[in-house]
Amino acid sequence: MYDSGLMIGHFEPLHLGQMRSILDAAGQAKTLHIVIMLHPSPHPDFTITLQDKARWLQMACADLPFIHIHTTHEIELPLHEHFADVSIDVAASNAKLQRLTEALALPPETVLFVADNHPLVQSNVREQLLLQVVTTPLQSEFDSYAIAQDPVANWSAIHPQARGDYTKTVAIVGGESSGKTTLVHKLANYYGASFALEMGRLYVGTDLGGSEVGLQYSDYGPIVLNHAQAIRDAVANATAPITIVDTDFVTTQAFCEEYEGRTHPFVAACIDEFRLDHTIMLDNNTPWIDDGMRSLGTPEARGRFEQRLVDIFARHGIEPQMIDKPDYDARYQQALLFIDQHIYGKKS
């Protein structure tokens, strides 16, 4: 058992193979320090910060107090597809290790953990390094390069703590009786995805006694707060590269303007601060069905509300994907095509 150990990596994304290596190293050291660096070639579809990566590891290791997480902007490791591509500059490596050990105040007997196929394991290299090199078993079923290049295709390998940053939110919006909720459930089942329900309807049931007769301006703030939390929960527990959202903050604002005659500034702030990745808007050209909670059923009212949605989207710089097929199954097929192309990268 070593007193102190050190691991260094990009961890973008944190995946199960890396976690297994961490656990193996933690079993060999009384204290394990993990240093997270910036990725030299981050994926263009995902904005990941050092703090995001630190959070993943802090949460994953929350019940392992002998593991300590650190971040650095100063140390860089090259990105490589295969270790055979890497040449080791011993002097430069020792300089980096020296800076790290001094910054973290690590004891001189600290060991450096690497995979057992890492170039640092080569005898002509490890004998010259500042720190003793100790290996962890190779996790051959997890290819860090491939996972970083295509997180969607390697979703199952990503650690659960990191998946929330690799799922894309897709809001399904539209006027009353446009088939939003049914489409949400169909898409969630198709992709095995988590989803956030419409909060306005739930709020009417939990806080207004099941009828909108008591709905007033002051209710729109709590509604969007509840919706933001529901989306956050769905994303945090993402089961697929896509998370479905039933309606959005723009829809809440549209109802506020429709019923109250004014824009709610807090709802407007939520539209801008809690941005969703994609928005699918359903045209109001399906039959209107009165379910006891709908009031905008005339062609004039439906057209007015749809235009209100379009105007608010434009106001906030959001470009929804319009689905205009009047047939419900055709709408479902249009939604699948859009998601497959824009999230799963499939060609039509």
User: Does 139 map to a domain?
Assistant: yes
Q: Which of 117, 150, 183 is the last residue of a domain?
A: 150
User: Does 155 map to a domain?
Assistant: no
Q: What is the CATH number of the domain that holds 245?
A: 3.40.50.300
In terms of residue numbers, what domain contains 29? 2-150
Do 142 and 7 fall into the same domain?
yes
**Cβ contact 112:132 at 8 Å:** yes
Tens place of pLDDT per residue across the chain (348 aa):
999 999 999 999 999 999 999 999 999 999 999 999 999 889 999 999 999 999 999 999 999 999 999 999 887 765 555 566 667 788 888 888 999 999 999 999 999 999 988 888 887 788 888 999 999 999 999 999 999 999 999 999 999 999 999 999 999 999 877 789 999 999 999 999 999 999 988 999 999 998 888 999 999 999 999 999 999 999 999 999 999 999 999 999 999 999 999 999 999 999 999 999 999 999 887 666 655 555 665 778 888 899 999 999 999 999 999 999 888 999 999 999 999 999 999 876
Q: What is residue 294's predicted lDDT score, i.e. its pLDDT?
A: 54
User: Does 66 map to a domain?
Assistant: yes
Do 261 and 119 fall into the same domain?
no
Do 183 and 138 fall into the same domain?
no
Q: Which residues contact 318 (CB under 8 A, 6 or more apart)?
A: 250, 271, 279
Q: What is residue 310's predicted lDDT score, i.e. its pLDDT?
A: 96
Alpha-carbon span 264 to 173, nearest angstrom: 19
Q: Which two tokens stand for residue 218?
A: 């002051």
pTM of the model: 0.90
Alpha-carbon span 142 to 149, nearest angstrom: 13
User: Does 41 map to a domain?
Assistant: yes
Alpha-carbon span 270 to 293, nearest angstrom: 25
CA distances, 30 to each of 5, 18, 62, 66 (Å): 8, 19, 16, 7
Q: What is residue 295's predicted lDDT score, i.e. its pLDDT?
A: 61
Tokens 């080791």 -> residue: 88
Do 68 and 114 fall into the same domain?
yes
User: Does 314 map to a domain?
Assistant: yes
Q: How many domains in the chain?
A: 2
Do 217 and 334 fall into the same domain?
yes
Q: What is the pLDDT of residues 29-39, one digit of tens each?
A: 999 999 999 99
User: Does 156 map to a domain?
Assistant: no
Q: Which two tokens stand for residue 135?
A: 């290996």
The per-residue b/e assignment along 230-243, b for 16 or more CB within 10 angstroms, e otherwise, is bbeebbbebbbbbb
Q: Which two tokens stand for residue 269?
A: 């702030």
User: Does 347 map to a domain?
Assistant: no
**Cβ contact 56:28 at 8 Å:** no
